Structure 1
């Protein structure tokens, strides 16, 4: 059977022609290896959407390649631990002081200073749009000696955890030119990003002067392969060493020793447009909820490699089992042929099939259903603008701060930056504000679950299943990261034996 790793263990530990896609025998600035002399060839799922700007979701690529770093990182339990900041403390109700690590240099040779940290964080805080980790957060930063003071407009108990988001990576001054942020040669991590070929590939070389010790691999050669069949074929043919997000349909074609199922805090959800169209009617949203049979999706589309969702938060968060669930269910109405369009994207191979199955289920319930399927880069803008009546999305629920409150706010607050459901509900907003302001611990978890319940009560989102992302590693890969938060992939210890 394929390896299935528990979350705690994990945290510790377009067809394309494949020939010529991956660098063969490529060498970077470091020709001598610390442990092994072979570069690591990685097939990534999604191409960069914003030229690898850390202020976008591309930041997670920079993090997974160990090239851009943040002030803190998260441990297996989601607690903040030192990274570019050696320590921190809360100085006032609104302010936190971070002491910057000594002896760190950016890839261009300039030193990491408190002023450099302040510049990067200020660029994120003043960006338009802001990184979603800063949704609802008025953040200002001031450098003082070897410390930075991070202040928020309202008391925020999660400032340290927020600082772990890859979207708040600290880069050298050269990266910032007007509104553009270019990470090439500007990070502090174990690998130097030396070249980016648009949306096709990227090259990284070992940072021989990395503050955390030189990496074991001499470099990383990344190719972006949106086509899922091509990604899996790259592993089978030996063209890739590590393959991100192997689709369920391809898993059975690979050697079981090459597969690791990673239980992810990722939920496959049907978002319903609450502002216009058929699903402005709460009773029709309830009718859609009743029509969706998630077990069919798990058994059929995911071949049993997923878990039926009981809520928005899945088994990667064990405490989510304490939820009350929906407490104010609306009575389902009669669709009577109501016309709806469901949108989704091809980048995750299962989603078009999920949408097709939902089309059948909703048609059986009395809806008239059309599908619109594109690549994510070509559909995101329309999804956020409320173009579709419904949208199928695979969504990471603790991606940014390690805390699901940020995800819930982003997706369901009236002013959330990723509010595909176009939801504007006072009860939801109130619950989200309470969750965001509650200190870490049991009380915060209870507040988060109450906010989840408030969202579920609106039927603005129908959680269907929780995914187990499948990662493929060639037999000669040593110590690649299997990270449920999708922040790590190639680390200082990863190499080819």
Structure 2
């Protein structure tokens, strides 16, 4: 009873912010329109003042405020956005034609010069946007186009330019000392008019948008870290769209308001292939055969996850149709082999997953010792190969919308996040082939072949693919349910009275 009262109190306190945001609309520069405004409850507040060079860029993108040269379709294929067309001139050089008749929110024109200035600011930022880690990129104007050059051969340049961290902003956004203020500086259908610290933000429709005029007159965004409060906001209608409704809250909400979105995130059991008992491929095979994916999904995730068939899940819909059976070595009986299993507490479900994994392995004949700590206190040991097994929830598609970087990082001989300590010539060859292949069908095929090579080693045992629960009231139509979390409210989103 006490727990429920505390939760209700937290919800009441947090929801007060919604009422404050609504009453303060006029003070925050919102204009009066006949069309409705929509209220959104976000999981996390901005960490860098909504700078587009930080992870806050994804909020600007989800509000359809900031736009990039390229946009990715559902399969991760680059499509035109602020660039209408592009071509690869040589292995290091690309040419992007800039869309004409586009205005920034402050009324200034989008030009190739402004594109170059934005890309150059990103390339020179300290720290660099994550999408440019390890990438040396320059840009220059050529007529109505922009020439982008990279120091290394990089077939993913169009994918990189789709990252919200490389949004094109008006000159007014860029202040001294690298500070960027995104207010009235984007090109999207909504203009950011007010930033209220880590509490809320407000946007109005931009009537001079180059594309289709937005159906909504504006967006009021609140940051609601408490999951109980987000669930209550959806139930009461104080927010019409709610990010990341907790599983515990979903059971209390009308099923018509709940939408599960597959995420490009896989809960994986990493297996130490270099030393210890699991350096034996036959014992790694015994671990794989012992894992009960269905029990983990049913028990820990209450059915709100997908059993893994490979490293790449439903968020990459092309993967399942291209995947072929993997040849594994035969397992041998563990016969009491002692192994260590590690994971961390920062993601609440992982210790529960560890308990089920340990039970399954014990039943299969292993003796299992668990080590569960905060991530900051266990990461170094995991990367050093101090565990036989380690459970990790891992994003499989990083900012480029392509899984090769993740695979190289986690499973190549030179990988910087190689918890499995894997160094296999066949895997490296498959990864090199995938990395060098142009985006499209051939690259996807090479990626699936690399996945098969990794899975054949049993260095990674994918258990499940996570979903996020997005809440929407029945009045909402055409809100995006985007696995990559780049889109949410768009010019097509509507809200009925």
Q: TM-score, normalised by structure 1?
A: 0.82
Q: Do the aligned partners of 1:483 and 1:489 also contact (CA within 8 Å) in 2?
A: yes
| Mapped pair 1:367 → 2:363 | no
Alignment counterpart, residue 87 of structure 2, candidates 86, 89, 95: 89
Alignment counterpart, residue 114 of structure 1, candidates 112, 115, 126: 112
Secondary structure, aligned partner of 1:99: strand
Q: Which residue of 2 aligns with 1:300?
A: 299
Secondary structure, aligned partner of 1:24: helix
Distance 1:47 1:379 in 2: 25
Distance 1:229 1:391 in 2: 30
Shift of 1:73: 1.1
| Mapped pair 1:61 → 2:59 | yes
Q: Which residue of 1 aligns with 2:16?
A: 20
Shift of 1:96: 1.4
Q: Which moved more, 1:337-346 or 1:282-291?
A: 282-291
Q: Do the aligned partners of 2:281 and 2:329 also contact (CA within 8 Å) in 1?
A: no
Q: Which residue of 1 aligns with 2:29?
A: 29
- 1:316-327 aligned at under 5 Å gives the runs 316-324=316-324, 326-327=326-327
Distance 1:421 1:56 in 2: 30
Distance 2:423 2:196 in 1: 41
Distance 1:125 1:281 in 2: 45
Distance 1:362 1:221 in 2: 49
Q: Which residue of 2 aligns with 1:465?
A: 464
Distance 2:253 2:402 in 1: 34
Shift of 1:344: 4.5
Aligned in 2, Cα 1:196/1:288: closer, same or farther, shift over 3 Å? Answer: farther
Aligned in 2, Cα 1:197/1:88: closer, same or farther, shift over 3 Å? Answer: same
Q: Do the aligned partners of 1:69 and 1:187 also contact (CA within 8 Å) in 2?
A: yes
Distance 2:330 2:44 in 1: 38
Aligned in 2, Cα 1:194/1:335: closer, same or farther, shift over 3 Å? Answer: farther
Instruction: Give the length in aligned residue pairs.
Output: 477
Aligned in 2, Cα 1:79/1:248: closer, same or farther, shift over 3 Å? Answer: same
Shift of 1:42: 1.2
Aligned in 2, Cα 1:70/1:372: closer, same or farther, shift over 3 Å? Answer: same
Larger radius of gyration: 2
Q: Do the aligned partners of 2:75 and 2:317 also contact (CA within 8 Å) in 1?
A: no
Distance 2:134 2:405 in 1: 9
| Mapped pair 1:266 → 2:265 | yes
Shift of 1:288: 4.7
Q: Which residue of 2 aligns with 1:490?
A: 489
Q: Do the aligned partners of 2:341 and 2:354 also contact (CA within 8 Å) in 1?
A: no
Distance 1:254 1:339 in 2: 40
Q: Which moved more, 1:224-233 or 1:234-243?
A: 224-233
Q: Which moved more, 1:51-60 or 1:127-136?
A: 127-136
- 1:69-88 aligned at under 5 Å gives the runs 69-88=67-86
CA-to-aligned-CA distance 1:280-337 (integer Å, 9 cap, x gap): 8877765654443211111222333322111111234234343345545586767754
Unaligned runs of 5+ in 1: 1-13
Shift of 1:424: 5.7
Aligned in 2, Cα 1:318/1:257: closer, same or farther, shift over 3 Å? Answer: same
Q: Do the aligned partners of 2:343 and 2:350 also contact (CA within 8 Å) in 1?
A: no
Q: Which residue of 2 aligns with 1:144?
A: 142
Distance 1:380 1:178 in 2: 35
Q: Which moved more, 1:63-72 or 1:196-205?
A: 196-205
Shift of 1:64: 0.9
| Mapped pair 1:219 → 2:218 | yes
Aligned in 2, Cα 1:227/1:159: closer, same or farther, shift over 3 Å? Answer: same
Distance 1:261 1:113 in 2: 40
Secondary structure, aligned partner of 1:231: helix
Q: Which moved more, 1:415-424 or 1:61-70?
A: 415-424
Secondary structure, aligned partner of 1:21: helix
Distance 2:50 2:417 in 1: 19
Distance 2:97 2:86 in 1: 6
Shift of 1:20: 1.0
Secondary structure, aligned partner of 2:90: coil
Q: Do the aligned partners of 1:54 and 1:169 also contact (CA within 8 Å) in 2?
A: yes
CA-to-aligned-CA distance 1:73-102 (integer Å, 9 cap, x gap): 123443322211122122233321111122
Superposition RMSD on alpha carbons, in Å? 3.6
Distance 2:371 2:212 in 1: 54
Secondary structure, aligned partner of 1:221: strand
Q: Do the aligned partners of 1:191 and 1:205 also contact (CA within 8 Å) in 2?
A: yes
Aligned in 2, Cα 1:291/1:343: closer, same or farther, shift over 3 Å? Answer: farther
Q: Do the aligned partners of 2:30 and 2:202 also contact (CA within 8 Å) in 1?
A: no
Q: Which residue of 1 aligns with 2:473?
A: 474
Q: Do the aligned partners of 1:175 and 1:184 also contact (CA within 8 Å) in 2?
A: no
